[in-house]
Amino acid sequence: MTSEICPFGRDHSPFEGAEPTGRPVATVGGGQARSRDGDVAGVPADRYTHRA
End-to-end CA distance of the chain: 25
Query: What 3 state SS string does 1-52 have?
Result: CCHHHCCCCCCCCCCCCCCCCCCCCEEEECCEEEEECCEECCCCCCCCCCCC
Write the pLDDT tens digit of every residue in 16-44.
Answer: 888 888 888 888 877 888 888 888 887 76
Say what the pLDDT of residue 9 is: 67
What proportion of the chain, given as a percentage, has pLDDT over 70?
A: 75
Q: What angle do CA 18, 33, 52 make, to 5 degrees?
A: 70
For the full predicted model, state whether its pTM sits above 0.85: no
